[in-house]
Amino acid sequence: MIIKKISFKRKNEPEFALRSFEFASHFNYIYSAKNSTGKSTFLRLLLYALGFSIPNTRKVKFDEFSIETQVENKEKTFVIRRENKKIWVNDSELILPTDAEVVHSIVFDSESFDLIDNILGAIYIDQDLGWTLLNRGTVIGRIKFYVEEFLHGLKGKDCDIDIKVSLRKIDDELEKYRQMKAVAEYKEQAIVATSEAAIEKGEIAFDTPSEALINERRELLWQKQSIEKRIRFLEKTLADDKKFVEWLESHNIIVKGSNGELIPVTQETIENFSDNNELNKIEVRREQIALKKLLEAIAAIDVEVSEQPMFFTGETVLETFERRIADIPLDLAAVEKTIKRLTKDQKKLREKLKESAITQNKWATRLSKYIFTYAQELGISEYIEKNDCFLFKDLKSISGAIYHKMVFVFRISYARILSENLKYKTPLFIDSPHGREIEKQAVDQMIEVLERDFAEHQIFVASIFDIQKTRKDNKVIEMNGKLFDIKSGQMTLFDDE
């Protein structure tokens, strides 16, 4: 897979402000001797252009841009255009983030959402959080990587679908309960604060008569809807009855009774017709009476509410919010108990998924082999054991340069296994391999690995080091800090080397 070119400009910039870059099919060094020149922003823009939810940087807001990227993958060319939440893949319009999985499924040519959801973690190392992510955590912004999901994705799209569905359900529930907990905690604080204020003022702050009326009105409206629905059903039934009996009567059927008497088939002579039909008619009338009463009751409440001149007047948005929050029946202890239970269930399911991710999964075996081999090459294999288990281990006890190298080892192994699985060479995006405590020698060592084992991959590396260029088709894009400036026509366009 190759990103051939990218063109972008802010939507409000003139046409001549369009910046265009063509990329080398192997190494693309995004370089500047100084920091804060836009290297990371440029890398992020590339990923943003492909439909990932990349957060803005402090200076550049991606949603202001119109970006067009040309990507080639397995002899197919995709022209991807993105403007904020809209994205067009070869003119098919999709909406982000809802359709992100669809976009990535097309561009990365995979039907496994487990793989698609975790693909960024396998191809991109962000300058900040990227160098802390080994097997699970944040890739960038809200995009996560979970190695067990990734392994499931490699295994096949439908494997352990039941556990995944249950886990997804629990994840969703937990998210909601956590928000509920926040509301419950807020409510407790708000009630304490407002009760104190109410005591001072000598009034009750919550559940005012007006509020009771509003609740009563809400209940009546609900009843009204229910009755209206029933009336619609009964009226439809009566219309059907009419058609049915007209149809029957139109055939002029006459039946013979046991005593030889002739009986025409009419609505009066069809056994059970009149009773049921009459009952339906009476029920409609009855529901209409009930509806009339409800409407009168609602109107009476409206009058009563309108006669309360001080109804919520002078109340700030915050006060209204607090009053409404106070009305929500929330039991903090019960919510916490549920969260605890769900977390336990979630943990169990994750354990199951972890187990099944490595059980009879040739990809897991191969992945751990790559990781171990690269770790050996970079001289850090003593920190991991030569078995599958380290894939899930928390290796955060390792620190500094070793951890940095370990991240590199894990991540390029993901990229390599991913490419084998997808049967094409995925691009790699590596931001700031130099790190804080890493020496240039170590960076060169990493680049060597990339040059050797990823020779057919397109690689984007952003660095302050002037990394050596050994191949003709490598390219350096030098940053001068002006790429994302507003192009007014007065400023010099960025010079592409």
Partner 1 sequence: MAEKKRSRQSTASAFGWVFQSSAGLYLLLDCIETATSIKMEGKREDIEITLDDNTIIYAQAKSVENINDRTNNRAKLKRALESLSDCTESVKKLIYISNIINPLDSSTHQQYVYSRTPFSSFLDADKVTVNDILSDIENGADFQTAKFELVTFKFCGEDDNQRYGEVLNKTKEFLAKTVVSESKAQAILTEWKALLMNNNAQRASMSKAEVLFPLILVTIEHQDLEAKYNEVCKLGMYDEAMQKYADFIRNAPNKTEYFIRVCGHYDKKYLKIGGDHINEFVQNNWRDYIEEYSVIEKSEDFLESLIKLIMLATLLKRRTIGSIKGAAKL
Choose between 232 and 440: whose C-beta lies nearer to partner 1: 232
Q: Is 154 a residue that touches partner 1 (CB under 8 A)?
A: no
Instruction: Pick from 75, 162, 275, 394 the residue near partner 1 by CB under 8 A.
Output: 275
The span of 50-58, 83-91, 191-199, 206-214 binding partner 1 (CB under 8 A) equals 206-214
Give the integer Cα–Cα distance in Å for 139 and 120.
Answer: 7
Q: Which helix (H) or strand (E) holds 87?
A: strand 86-89
Strands 143-146 and 475-478: unpaired
Distances (CA, A) of 333 to 168, 184, 337: 24, 9, 6
The yes or no reply on residue 241 touching partner 1 (CB under 8 A) is yes
Q: Which stretch binds partner 1 (CB under 8 A): 24-32, 155-163, 278-286, 396-404?
A: 278-286
If one counts every other C-beta atom within 10 angstroms of the C-beta of residue 269, the result is 14
Least distance in angstroms from the C-beta of 285 to partner 1:
8
> What are the DSSP calls for 395-431, one per residue?
-TTS-HHHHHHHHHHHHHHHHHHHHHHHTS---EEEE
Q: Which of 98, 476, 163 is nearest to 347 (CA)?
A: 163
Query: CA 421 → CA 115, 319, 342, 388, 460, distances in Å?
Result: 10, 56, 34, 18, 21
CB contact at 8 A, 461 and 29: yes
* Shortest CB 163 distance to partner 1, Å: 23
Segment near partner 1 (CB under 8 A); pick from 59-67, 105-113, 229-237, 445-453:
229-237
End-to-end CA distance of the chain: 23
Regarding 233 and contact with partner 1 (CB under 8 A), the answer is: yes
Segment interacting with partner 1 (CB under 8 A) among 126-134, 205-213, 366-374, 400-408: 205-213
Structure tokens at 24: 């080398």
- For Cα atoms 90, 94, 96, give the angle at the middle one, nearest 5 degrees: 130
Applying CB under 8 A, among 89, 234, 407, 477 the residue interacting with partner 1 is 234
Applying CB under 8 A, does 263 fall inside the site for partner 1?
A: no
In terms of CB distance, is 284 or 476 closer to partner 1? 284
The tokens 């931001």 sit on which residue? 431
- How far apart (Å, rounded) are the C-alpha atoms in residues 67 and 87? 9
Q: How far is the CB of 211 from partner 1 (least distance, A)?
A: 9
Judged by CB under 8 A, which of 273, 312, 424, 465 binds partner 1?
273
Stretch that binds partner 1, among 46-54, 208-216, 310-318, 417-425 (CB under 8 A): 208-216
Q: Does 269 sit near partner 1 (CB under 8 A)? A: no
- Pick the stretch among 25-33, 279-287, 404-412, 482-490 that binds partner 1 (CB under 8 A): 279-287
Residue whose CB is less far from partner 1, 249 or 283: 283
Backbone angles phi, psi at 49, to 5 degrees: -60, -30
CB of 289 to partner 1, least distance (A): 6
The answer to whether residue 237 forms part of the interface with partner 1 (CB under 8 A) is yes
Segment near partner 1 (CB under 8 A); pick from 58-66, 148-156, 234-242, 438-446: 234-242
* Burial of 266 per CB tally in 10 Å (0-12, 13-18, 19+): middle
* Least gap, CB of 177 to partner 1 (angstroms): 23
Residue with smaller CB distance to partner 1, 178 or 230: 230
Contact window for partner 1 (CB under 8 A) among 19-27, 148-156, 235-243, 389-397: 235-243
Q: At closest approach, how far in Å is the CB of 282 from partner 1?
A: 5
Binding flag, residue 282, partner 1 (CB under 8 A): yes
CA atoms of 152 and 359, how far apart (whole Å):
10
In terms of DSSP bridges, do strands 143-146 and 124-125 run parallel, antiparallel, or are they unpaired? unpaired
209 binds partner 1 (CB under 8 A): yes
244 touches partner 1 (CB under 8 A): yes
Q: Which of 317, 304, 312, 328 is nearest to 205 (CA)?
A: 312
* C-alpha span between 210 and 305 (Å, rounded): 7
Which residue, 109 or 241, has its beta carbon nearer to partner 1? Answer: 241
278 contributes a contact to partner 1 by CB under 8 A:
yes
- The reply on whether position 276 binds partner 1 by CB under 8 A is yes
Query: What binding mask, one character per residue, do residues 418-437 give for partner 1 by CB under 8 A, x or -?
Result: --------------------
Asked if residue 277 binds partner 1 (CB under 8 A), the reply is yes
Tokens coding 6:
């990218």
Cβ(134)–Cβ(404) under 8 Å? Answer: no
- Contact between 132 and 116 under an 8 Å Cβ cutoff? The reply is no
The tokens describing 109, both together, are: 């040519």
Tokens in use for 209?
Answer: 């008569």
Do the Cβ atoms of 30 and 39 come closer than 8 Å?
yes
CB 445 within 8 A of CB 146: no
Cβ 335 to partner 1 shortest distance, Å: 24
Binding of partner 1 by 316 (CB under 8 A) = no
Q: Which stretch binds partner 1 (CB under 8 A): 35-43, 61-69, 200-208, 395-403?
A: 200-208
Preceding amide of 55 cis, omega within 30: no
Q: Minimum distance between the CB of residue 352 and partner 1, rounded to whole angstroms?
A: 27
> Which residues contribute to the site for partner 1 (CB under 8 A)?
204, 207-209, 212, 233-234, 237, 240-241, 244, 270-273, 275-280, 282-283, 286, 289, 304
